[in-house]
Amino acid sequence: MSHYLGLIERYRDRLPVTPGMRIISLVEGDTPLVPLDNLARAAGHDVKIYAKFEGLNPTGSFKDRGMTMAVTQAVHEGTQAVICASTGNTSASAAAYAARAGIRSFVLIPDGKIALGKLAQAMIQGAVVIQIQGNFDDGMRIVKDMADAGPLAIVNSINPYRLQGQKTAAFEIVDALGRAPDYHCIPVGNAGNISAYWTGFSEYAGVRPATAACAWCDDVCRFERPAVCASRPVMVGYQAAGAAPFLRGGPVADPETVATAIRIGNPQSWDLAWAAVRESGGWFAELTDEEILATQKLLAEREGVFCEPASAISVGGMLRDIEAGRIKSGSVITCTLTGHGLKDPDTAIRQSQGQVLQIRAESDLVKRAILDRL
């Protein structure tokens, strides 16, 4: 077997690529499905929990799955630049894949509300960073207005190639488990990823989903193929309470949350996400910033898994729904951890304050401090 060359090569026969196409890849995908046995034991109810740790993609988030497809297609069409609005991770990923392809990238980010690591990535990877005095939704509106501005490809998840790339995470989960999970728990911001997962799980189950909203999707996806697995999971989407349009029944004007990645009030994949949740028998739920941060800490302290706040929401919501009996005992549950904790060092340090001991450089003093804590 040849060594792993990225998700397009691995799932080529289920993706919109043609022979001879120049594949723009950073060898993304193939992320681990990490068992969270400590949390499962604490939760009781005989559940088995796995985290799909997407923070281990090349730029540290799941966006790379969609970006390899979107930038490959953009280059194929002769596009000279990509553009996106972003709460951070999309801009980091777009900049990286554009750099690799040798084209330009323009990224619109909300003023002052982007985690430091993501900004660093976009900047050093050569993106033209445009800070707008507005939020993600303002940026998205402006980017859509740029559609006719020139030879420019929009690489937000309204680009259908993005969702095609991202559906491969569902394939990997089924391939790793040898079955579909009973529940899949996932953070929801702009709502592209939950839609992509449902498309992927459905394709592997040999079922045409409601998320296959266009004829193009029918052309690309292999829904008619024999099923790889017999079932599909219940899809559960979690939002931050201050940015929870799916819980409010419509757009939220001034979204606010510590989980800046999902500080989004007007999700572009509204209908697709509802289709995924309804068809799977799932639901949306919301978590407060306090619950989100507590879960980020819990994952780090109990499992050694460091994800960003927006990612922790899937685990926090899942644990609450297990306790409430909404997620049934005996279930196999997968959670997407969408981005790496190192993306947002400020938030991690802020919520761990007081844990650093200040001690003079003397062995006796250090020894005492250690023995006091053993």
- C-beta of 144: minimal distance to ligand AN7 in Å? 14
* CB nearer to ligand AN7: pick between 278 and 367: 278
- C-beta of 291: minimal distance to ligand AN7 in Å? 16
Site for ligand AN7 in 36-65 (CB under 6 A): 61
C-beta separation of 258 from 292 below 8 A: yes
* CB nearer to ligand AN7: pick between 166 and 202: 166
User: For residues 263 and 149, what is the distance between their CA atoms, to the nearest angstrom?
Assistant: 27
Using CB under 6 A, which of 25, 90, 202, 295 touches ligand AN7? 90
Q: How many CA atoms lie within 13 A of 270 on its CB side?
A: 14
Element (H, E) at 34: strand 33-35
- C-beta of 273: minimal distance to ligand AN7 in Å? 8
Instruction: Please state the length of the chain.
Output: 374
Element (H, E) at 337: strand 332-337
Using CB under 6 A, which of 261, 276, 277, 318 touches ligand AN7? 261
* CB nearer to ligand AN7: pick between 105 and 193: 193
Any idea which residue has 């729904």 for tokens?
A: 321
Residue 330, SS3? coil
Site for ligand AN7 in 193-212 (CB under 6 A): 193
* CB nearer to ligand AN7: pick between 25 and 239: 239
- C-beta of 364: minimal distance to ligand AN7 in Å? 45
Size of site (CB under 6 A) for ligand AN7: 21
CA dihedral 194, 198, 201, 202 (to 10 degrees): -170
Using CB under 6 A, which of 191, 212, 287, 298 touches ligand AN7? 191
**Residue 188 interacting with ligand AN7 (CB under 6 A):** yes
C-beta separation of 136 from 108 below 8 A: no
- C-beta of 261: minimal distance to ligand AN7 in Å? 3
C-beta separation of 71 from 101 below 8 A: yes
**Residue 308 interacting with ligand AN7 (CB under 6 A):** yes
Phi, psi of 52 (to 5 degrees): -85, 100
C-beta separation of 89 from 61 below 8 A: yes
**Residue 311 interacting with ligand AN7 (CB under 6 A):** yes
User: For residues 93 and 71, what is the distance between their CA atoms, to the nearest angstrom?
Assistant: 10
Closest CA to 98 of 74, 63, 65, 131: 74
**Residue 338 interacting with ligand AN7 (CB under 6 A):** yes
**Residue 86 interacting with ligand AN7 (CB under 6 A):** yes
Determine the number of helices (DSSP H) and then strands (DSSP E) in the chain: 16, 10
- C-beta of 96: minimal distance to ligand AN7 in Å? 13
Site string for ligand AN7, 146-175 (x = CB under 6 A): -----------x------------------
Say if residue 48 is exposed, middle or buried (CB neighbours under 10 Å; 0-12, 13-18, 19+): middle
* CA 189 from centroid of its chain's CA atoms: 9
How crowded is residue 26: how many other Cβ atoms within 10 Å of its Cβ? 17
Segment near ligand AN7 (CB under 6 A); pick from 36-44, 172-180, 188-196, 276-284: 188-196
Site for ligand AN7 in 269-298 (CB under 6 A): none
CA angle 89, 92, 98 (to 5 degrees): 135
Using CB under 6 A, which of 68, 73, 190, 334 touches ligand AN7? 190
Cα Dmax for the chain? 72
Any idea which residue has 């630049």 for tokens?
A: 81
- C-beta of 359: minimal distance to ligand AN7 in Å? 36
Using CB under 6 A, which of 117, 160, 165, 192 touches ligand AN7? 192
Segment near ligand AN7 (CB under 6 A); pick from 35-43, 174-182, 189-197, 240-248: 189-197
Binding site for ligand AN7 (CB under 6 A): 61, 86-90, 157, 187-193, 261-262, 308, 310-311, 338-339
